[in-house]
Chain A
Amino acid sequence: MFLLLLRLVATTLHAMLMFGLAPLVMGVVGTLRARLLGRRGPPLLQPYFLLRKLSRKTAVVPDNATDLYPVWPFVAFAAMAVAALLVPGFCAGLLTANMSDFITFIGLVTLSRAAIMVAGLETGFGFGGAGAARDILFGVFAEAALLVVILTFVLIAGSPTIDGVANFFRFGHVGIQVSIGFALASSFMVAVTETGRIPVDNPAGHLELAMVHEAMLLEYSGKNLALFEYAAMLRLIVWMSLIGTVFCPFGMGLAGNVLSWPGGLMLWLAKLAGLSVALSVFEIGTAKMRIFRVPEFLGVAILLGLLSAVFLFLAERIGG
């Protein structure tokens, strides 16, 4: 009973931190990128200001939108919010640990993306349709790559849940394997695609011809846009937490042990900071790709995923 209560507290804390810190992570990445480029950049808290500003403005609704127009932002946000609850942050063993199957996670992320795509087609104007069509194209390759990477994790850890994989990588003697290196590279590529960062999509770019994720939100404003923006921030922190949890679970807290929480919390913040730095350095080091080069980029991700599986099989054959 006490244990259950502790896990409940841990889950609540996790949810509060996830939802509270999501804009901050976005702000850190934006500021770091600007500083690395030699600009002063926006304040760290800019995303919070953005959300407040948007939610206080009158929403402008296109006259040819259907009745479902205000529903899509809620679907996009709610699916991403549940995904944020499934991915362990500072500690493993949350109340949602049993539900946190990798495939459920992919499904929720896809549901959120589908809502954004349909929202882009809502008014029937060209930009939204083009953005949605391109997002479908990226999704085709990203999903294939992600599934293959997940196969590697699940087979190494023998558990289909994110929580189980984190626990296994932490306590089991996995050692350094070639296949985990390939899987890391592949999941970085998928994460960059899913969160819409350079080189796949430019979150700060406002050139219509090159937009993907922004193009679908052009007709949204006010509180509806605020929900979409918040979902994008959640997506970034969720992917960072996922990569941090799977590839670097050492020292993570356990929900049943209060004493392990502060260490886990520090470590989680350090992981988020480290990944933010890595993302900003990567972003300023590359240019945005042409749309039709992205499938090649993701094709490499699929190939790396397959290679990681193949190396895993070979290693098992030689070892066993």
Chain B
Amino acid sequence: MWVVAHGLFKPLLFLGAGAVKRGTGTTSLDWLGGLLRGMPKLGLLMLAGATGMAALPLGPGFAPEFLLLHAVIAAAATGGIVARIGFTALLAVLGLSAALALGAGVRLVGIGFLGRPRTLRAAAAEEAGRPVLVGMALLAACAVPVALLPGLLLLGLQPVIAELVAGAPALPMGYHPLPIALLMAVAAGAAYAVLRRFGARGERAVHAWNGGFGRPPVWLPFGDPKTQPTGLGFAEPVLRAIGGAILAGGERDPGEAYVFTPLARLNFRATRLAERIRRATIRQRLAFVFGALVVFLLVLGLSRGG
């Protein structure tokens, strides 16, 4: 399920990123902004992909997330006490990462596609080519049944699950996207009808209020890009709160600190040792062979005699 959903929205996002790079020459969020005006179709498809990535309900990513969380809860129901506490902690970490994925999705859509253009190339971006759009639309169309009928898909995957885990019971799917989508549509429609019937009709386009700051000068039609939230600035509170411990804000990656650096040190030591052996004189080598022979005979003799 997870694989199917990710197999659909990851390529969608990658294709979109490629199209953005083609259209604007960069994929750095700090050089983009307001792309939805220049590339509306691509923007909508990317929004669909981001919904999947953030595992929001009615998106393709929610059903796998739902199953995963319930699997962890079920795993914490039985077993030794240490394993149960471990699964509880795992659940907390999963909640944390789900919220981080949401942050990433909001950041992608909000900084890259909404807001004001930060560079002229972002302002002048044109819609991506038809093949890219068609490909992305096909992926999005494939994601619709995953998003709305996960129970059916799960039924189709049942043989695979049975193959992997013998005797796994058929999973009941407690998540029903279709009624939820229906209820949401009814609620939104009712709100629209009420506002249309009783609310004011008119809309007025004005310069954004922006906390009372005035209109930007003429030579900066989209305002100073420096006054906009940037990609890094958007992530700053999260980085500051948990970056030091988990994400290692700044330059050092925990993978680098705890895996690669020790490995590199080990490699260096082994190389030095090999080098010393290679440079050893004939006398040292003979002594080494002799010593090894003595140790070998000693071990042999002791094990026989003992």
Contact = CB atoms under 8 A, between A and B. Distances in A.
B88 A310 contact: yes
B282 interface: no
Given A62-B206, A104-B66, A122-B114, A306 B229 contact: no
A124 B237 contact: no
Contact of B99 (A55, A140, A223): A140
A309 B84 CA distance: 9
B180 interface: yes
A183 B183 CA distance: 30
Contacts, number: 273
Contacts of A255: none
Contacts of B58: 111
B229 A121 contact: yes
B202 A140 contact: no
Contacts of B33: 124
Residue among B70, B84, B207 having the largest count of chain A Cβ atoms under 10 Å: B84
Given A62-B208, A99-B180, A313 B92 contact: no
Contact of A140 (B62, B69, B103, B184): B103
Nearest to B190: A81
Residue among B33, B105, B179, B229 having the largest count of chain A Cβ atoms under 10 Å: B229
A56 interface: yes
B236 to A, nearest CB: 7
B98 interface: yes
Interface stretch (B12-20, B193-201, B267-275, B290-298): B193-201
Interface stretch (B1-9, B73-81, B132-140, B141-149): B73-81
Interface stretch (B34-42, B162-170, B250-258): B34-42
Contacts of B234: 129, 132-133, 136
Interface string A85-107: 10000000000101101011001
B235 interface: yes
- Contact-size category for A: 35 or more
A171 to B, nearest CB: 20
Nearest to A116: B106
A59 B203 contact: yes
B176 interface: yes
Interface in B168-195: 174-176, 179-180, 183-185, 187-188, 191-192, 195
A292 interface: yes
A16 B187 CA distance: 12
B204 A61 contact: yes
Contacts of B184: 78-79, 81-82
B56 interface: yes
Given A99-B176, A129-B228, A314 B77 contact: no
B40 A67 contact: yes
Nearest to A82: B183
Interface string B201-217: 01111111111010000
Contact of A144 (B99, B102, B237): B99
Contact of B204 (A59, A75, A120, A154): A59
B109 A118 contact: yes
A168 B152 CA distance: 30
A169 to B, nearest CB: 17
B62 A61 contact: no
Interface string B89-128: 1011111101110110110011101111000000000000
Contacts of B188: 74-75, 77-78
Contacts of A111: 56-58
Nearest to B180: A82
B103 A147 contact: no
B114 A68 contact: yes
A313 B103 CA distance: 33
A286 interface: no
Nearest to A56: B200
B241 A295 contact: yes
A291 B240 CA distance: 11
Interface of A: 55-68, 74-75, 77-79, 81-82, 85, 96, 98-99, 101, 103-104, 107-108, 110-111, 114, 117-118, 120-130, 132-134, 136-137, 139-148, 150-151, 154-155, 160-161, 208, 218-219, 222-223, 226-227, 291-292, 295, 302, 305-306, 309-310, 313-314, 317
Given A62-B206, A133-B236, 5 more contacts: A62-B208, A63-B205, A125-B211, A136-B234, A140-B241
28 contacts: A55-B195, A58-B200, A58-B202, A59-B200, A59-B203, A61-B206, A63-B207, A64-B34, A65-B208, A66-B37, A77-B191, A104-B174, A110-B102, A111-B56, A117-B110, A121-B115, A123-B114, A124-B228, A129-B229, A136-B99, A137-B237, A139-B103, A140-B242, A144-B99, A145-B92, A148-B88, A150-B73, A292-B240
